[in-house]
Structure formats: structure tokens, C-alpha cells
């Protein structure tokens, strides 16, 4: 209803950044789909300095990870202060998400500060 009334799908808020990021954090699959279909920018980092794909990966939201990847999310994007989606899923022990990311071409050797590789994070 709000989108039909002209709400800006990419408007930035204070805590979560944009609506897409907030929907991912909440685990709201259908809202994620609606926002993406309405033109939400997929790789914008939320106010928590992470991308939507990172958040879905670290929280174990397998279906949202798939939705974001199918919509063109940058699989190797690094968050501002944290790691990338593969490292996040590895750290949290989300094996199915790790497998999805690897099958979609995530860089298994990517490193970013202050963390190291996905293998290091999984150890």
C-alpha cells in the first residue's frame, strides 16, 4: 500500500538504513520480494554497515539468501566493518548457506579486515 502511494523504496532511515535491509534483518521473505520487485537497491549497506546478503547469511536465512542471489546481489561484497557473506555464514556455522554461496561462485579465499578467510572463520 505504501509503495503504491509513492513511498521511496530506497529511502534511508536511521537504524536499519533502508527497508530492504530491515526486511532481511526481520526475516520477512515476502517483504524482501516485494521490495526487490519495486526496485530496491540490493547491495546498499544498511546503517549496521552490512549488506542485505551479509545479514541474511549471518542470520541463517537460507531462502532470503537465495532470493537475494537470484536478484543479483554481489556475492563477494565486503561490509564496511565486517566480513563478506561467506565468512559470515562460516562464522555462524550455517553449512547450507556456505554451500549455496560456494555453488554460486563466492570467493573462498577472500579476506577482509579485521577478519581473515572463511576457513579461518569456520575454525
- The answer to the question of residue 5 being in a domain is no
Here the cell at position 117 is 578467510
- The answer to the question of residue 108 being in a domain is yes
pLDDT in the model for residue 113: 61
Distance of CA 77 to the CA centre of its chain: 9
Instruction: Find the domain containing 103 and state its range.
Output: 19-122
**Domain total for the chain?**
1
Contact predicate 80/74, CB 8 Å: no
Contact predicate 87/54, CB 8 Å: no
pLDDT digits (tens, 9 = 90+) for 30-74: 999 999 999 988 887 765 668 899 999 999 999 999 999 999 999
* SS3 call for 31: helix
pLDDT in the model for residue 4: 61
List of residues 6+ apart from 100 with CB closer than 8 A:
62, 65, 66, 69
- The answer to the question of residue 3 being in a domain is no
Return the H-helix or E-strand segment holding 16.
none
Mean pLDDT of the chain: 83
pLDDT in the model for residue 109: 83
pLDDT in the model for residue 37: 93
- The answer to the question of residue 14 being in a domain is no
pLDDT in the model for residue 15: 63
- The answer to the question of residue 98 being in a domain is yes
Contact predicate 57/85, CB 8 Å: yes
Q: What is the CATH number of the domain that holds 117?
A: 1.25.40.20
- The answer to the question of residue 69 being in a domain is yes
pLDDT in the model for residue 79: 76
- The answer to the question of residue 71 being in a domain is yes
Amino acid at each position: 500500500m505504501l509503495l503504491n502511494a509513492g513511498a521511496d523504496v530506497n529511502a534511508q532511515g536511521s537504524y536499519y538504513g533502508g527497508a530492504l535491509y530491515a526486511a532481511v534483518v526481520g526475516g520477512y521473505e515476502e517483504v524482501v520480494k516485494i521490495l526487490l520487485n519495486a526496485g530496491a537497491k540490493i547491495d546498499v549497506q544498511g546503517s549496521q554497515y552490512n549488506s542485505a546478503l551479509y545479514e541474511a547469511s549471518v542470520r541463517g536465512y537460507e531462502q532470503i539468501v537465495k532470493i537475494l542471489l537470484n536478484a543479483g546481489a554481489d556475492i563477494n561484497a565486503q561490509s564496511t566493518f565486517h566480513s563478506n557473506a561467506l565468512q559470515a555464514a562460516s562464522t555462524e556455522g550455517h553449512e547450507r548457506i556456505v554451500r549455496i554461496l560456494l555453488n554460486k561462485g563466492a570467493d573462498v579465499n577472500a579476506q577482509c579486515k579485521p577478519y581473515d578467510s572463511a576457513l579461518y572463520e569456520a575454525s
